[in-house]
Structure 1
């Protein structure tokens, strides 16, 4: 495997809640979410949740190559739940959650799973690209975030509107008509997007958190092919650098409305032989 990896926290003084890792023939990326601290009902925190779930999932999909990815994810969520013991209130509505992207090479095919708004970018041998993103969170968010987008980042009004927005999203988490994400309930894995792609059609496989896809899907400063060209030519660090440059030029979110100026950004770029 030839894998290039880069990650950058939104704030150097805070934990990076993204996690990515690879093993022979497999890779995972998770983007943790929560409001931080004791307010999640979990004493471990969001970064612990995403990294623990990610490590267990990578182990599961590698050790059980015939087991469906969704089943591996459900098993891993169950294991993480057991590790909380009696110290955490997992019924609390803001307990830690995480997006999940994972891939595994099987006989002649690449299997993938996507849950939540992280993305899988497939570079095709014919020069094209294909992108898999779970848009259910975006679709729910569009109905709720107009008050947030109308206000400058950092203002007291924006902070209050963002808190209301996140609270409303939490009420729609892991239920019909809302969106699905890895959390305390293994049944969320049943709602992941899964499929297989012929391996001989692919040149590369890239896993990205939504903090890294901003250059394309929020700022529209590049398309997916251009993003892939950056990854192939300069690597994941350069893609994240371009995201940060755009964010630096729009600190208050007037040009590109968003919940926060910076986000954890992670890219795992896997070039296939």
Structure 2
């Protein structure tokens, strides 16, 4: 595989909570779930620490083992949990969490895993690519967004509504009827979307955190096929530039309601050799 990527924090003075890493045969992308001001966590570790520690662990596992990706994810979550379960209170659901995409190529096939609302796109050469995103968070979140979406971003009222919204979603995290992400429970790996496809059927793949996928899913700037073209022809940084341009044109969310003006954004283009 040949991999190109770009990653940009929501704000230059804040840490990027996304994580991207690759080897010639594997790619892993994580999107850490930001914790807004006013939401307390019982863990002393940052979201960035979690996404980077788990991401590094997963990439190492993928290069050392041919085991099923959900099994490797479960092992990774268990390992990272063991690094702080004696120093942090991990029983109250306030621990850092992240979405996960794992992609691995063997001699003749491509294995993939998606957990959470990051997006994987598989270009099979058909007019419409295959788009894979775990939408359980969106299904859970939609009924609770009414007040948040009615308020202008950057106001104290919007900040308070966002805090309440995030706290409400926390009660649905990693339980039946809710949504699933990587955090402290290895069983979340069993809830991931997974698949295998012959490598010679794939021309390319794209991995996107939601901050980059918003180019299509929120702002409707381009369709998925054109997004793939942008990644190949202009590079991942151009996609993020287009997203930022749209966000700056609507800083308070009057046109596109959202919980924050900008989000960490990572876009990865993978050329697959079948």
Question: TM-score range with shorter-chain normalisation?
Answer: over 0.9
- The answer (yes or no) to whether the contact 2:105–2:111 under 8 Å persists in 1 is yes
Give the secondary structure class of the aligned counterpart of 2:263.
coil
Distance 1:125 1:105 in 2: 18
Partner Cα separation in structure 1 for residue 175 and residue 132 of structure 2: 21
Structure 2 partner of 1:46 = 47
Q: How does 1:98-247 map to 2 (within 5 A)?
A: 98-247=98-247
Q: CA deviation at 1:43?
A: 1.7
| Uncovered stretches (5+) of structure 1, i.e. residues with no partner | none
**TM superposition score normalised by structure 1:** 0.96
Is the 1:35–1:94 contact (alpha carbons within 8 Å) kept by the matching residues of 2?
Answer: no
Q: CA deviation at 1:268?
A: 1.5
Partners of 2:2 and 2:24 within 8 A in 1:
no
Alpha-carbon shift at residue 107 of structure 1 (Å): 4.0
Scaled by the length of structure 2, what TM-score is found?
A: 0.96
Partner of 1:78: 78
Runs of 4+ in 1 over 4 A off after TM superposition: none
Q: Secondary structure at the match of 1:48?
A: helix
Residue pair 1:209, 1:266 contacting (<8 A) in 2 also: yes
Range 30-39 or range 105-114, more displaced: 30-39
| Structure 1, 208-217 or 155-164: larger mean CA deviation | 155-164
Q: After superposition, give the CA deviation of every residue in 1:30-50 in whole Å (9 maximum; x if it has no partner).
A: 000141699322222100100
- Measure the CA separation in 2 of the matches of 1:110 and 1:40: 37
Aligned twin of 1:262 = 262
For 1:10-49, list aligned pairs within 5 A.
Answer: 10-35=10-35, 39-49=40-50
Deviation at 1:128, TM superposition (A): 3.7
Could you tell me how far 1:260 is from its partner in structure 2?
0.2
> Cα offset for 1:205?
1.2
1-side partners of 2:161 and 2:190: how far apart?
A: 32
Q: Distance in 1 between matches of 2:251 and 2:112?
A: 35
RMSD over aligned Cα, in angstroms? 1.4
